[in-house]
Amino acid sequence: MKKVAIGIDIGGTNSAIGVVDELGNVLVKDTIDTPNHGNIQMFIDDLATAIKKQISNVKLLNADLEILGIGIGAPNANYYKGTIEHAPNLSFKGIIPFSDLLKSKLPEYQTIALTNDANAAALGEMIYGGAKGMKNFAMFTLGTGVGSGIVVNGDLVYGNDGFAGECGHMILVPNGRHCGCGGRGHLEAYCSAPGMKRTAFELLVLYNDTSSALANKSFNELDSKMIYDAAMAGDKIANEVFEITGSYLGQGMADTVHHLSPEAIFLFGGPTAAGDLIFGPTQRSLEAHLMPIFRNKIKILPSKLSLGDAAIVGASALVWKEIEKR
């Protein structure tokens, strides 16, 4: 009998549901709207219906399937309590007992577990991806924000309260750029996609460079993809944005290494498509910021999860990990 796990990714606009096999292949998937009116019970009903539909669909492909459980990736998710707490981009306010609500609709599944998106991605990397067999690694997810998941001794680090792994909010520059969390100088304010845009404008200001392609875009227009395209076309400012972003990222990673001495740090997300443009300066900066005993040991690797399915696949990995723990 083939074993599969259900992975769910709760997003601000849409939520995705997929059925994933042991190799990390998404067999079937669908998305539903995440309501913007805050009615959590209606959403749980819709989600349970959508899950049942995907289970029917996948059983059309292969009737001989065992569904092991449901893993959920969500913002501000608390693994210990199965709750989503005060998620700024979701309409469900306060503390939502998400796992319990879903369990009451789908009592046939013993294993229903919840974690945040970046933790789910790290688990996905460990169960299906490039971190197979690694016991100590970290994963940084670069996007609108910078998330992270940390694995120590083969287990995800949740910490005392379930919220560990907020490496995106380590302080790189005392009293530096304002971060979305309210803090100052955080890695996320420099190395996220909006952080790269901020760096681009900082450089335009510094050099007063009117010839750069980036000088023709407004602050609201410019995005990291445009910076990448300009860099590939030889734009000096755009290339320096990648150099500086990698420099900050490497500095932050050095703090992670000094804490945890991981075997590797994985990078996931849109900006990693720039390849050596971002990996090169990041690795150089990491080495420059490491103590001698850690040098030339730590690999910075691109995630092997596909960008499109990573959220579903990562969430489903939670199920295999829960079963392994028993």
Q: Which of 23, 292, 296, 326 binds its own copies (CB under 8 A)?
A: 292
| Residue 135 near its own copies by CB under 8 A | yes
Give dist(CA 261, CA 61) in Å, integer: 44
Q: Which of 128, 158, 190, 242 binds its own copies (CB under 8 A)?
A: 158
Q: Please, what is the minimum distance in Å from the beta carbon of residue 321 to its own copies?
A: 14
Which residues 19-58 are close enough to bind its own copies by CB under 8 A? none
SS3 of the chain: CEEEEEEEEECCCEEEEEEEECCCCEEEEEEEECCCCCCHHHHHHHHHHHHHHHHHHHHHHCCCEEEEEEEEECCCEECCCCEEECCCCCCCCCEECHHHHHHHHCCCCCCEEEECHHHHHHHHHHHCCCCCCCCCEEEEEECCCEEEEEEECCEECCCCCCCCCCHHHCECCCCCCECCCCCECECHHHHCHHHHHHHHHHHHHHHCCCCCHHHHCCCCCCCHHHHHHHHHCCCHHHHHHHHHHHHHHHHHHHHHHHHHCCCEEEEECHHHHHCHHHHHHHHHHHHHHCCHHHCCCCEEEECCCCCCCHHHHHHHHHHHHHHHHC
Nearer to its own copies, 158 or 228 (CB): 158
| Residue 208 near its own copies by CB under 8 A | no
Q: Which of 50, 106, 181, 215 binds its own copies (CB under 8 A)?
A: 181
Please classify residue 211 by burial: count the beta carbons closer than 10 Å to its beta carbon, then call 0-12 exposed, 13-18 middle and 19+ buried. Answer: exposed
| Residue 126 near its own copies by CB under 8 A | no
| Residue 291 near its own copies by CB under 8 A | yes
| Residue 234 near its own copies by CB under 8 A | no
| Residue 255 near its own copies by CB under 8 A | yes
Q: Which of 11, 35, 97, 183 binds its own copies (CB under 8 A)?
A: 183
| Residue 166 near its own copies by CB under 8 A | yes
Nearer to its own copies, 103 or 169 (CB): 169
Nearer to its own copies, 48 or 173 (CB): 173
Q: Which of 44, 150, 313, 319 binds its own copies (CB under 8 A)?
A: 150
Q: Please, what is the minimum distance in Å from the beta carbon of residue 259 to its own copies?
A: 5
| Residue 178 near its own copies by CB under 8 A | no
| Residue 225 near its own copies by CB under 8 A | no
| Residue 289 near its own copies by CB under 8 A | yes
| Residue 162 near its own copies by CB under 8 A | yes
| Residue 160 near its own copies by CB under 8 A | yes
Q: Please, what is the minimum distance in Å from the beta carbon of residue 96 to its own copies?
A: 15
**CA-based nearest residue to 21, from 318, 316, 308, 303:** 316
- Positions that interact with its own copies (CB under 8 A): 76, 85-86, 135-137, 150, 152-153, 155, 157-167, 169-174, 181-183, 251, 254-256, 258-263, 289, 291-294, 297
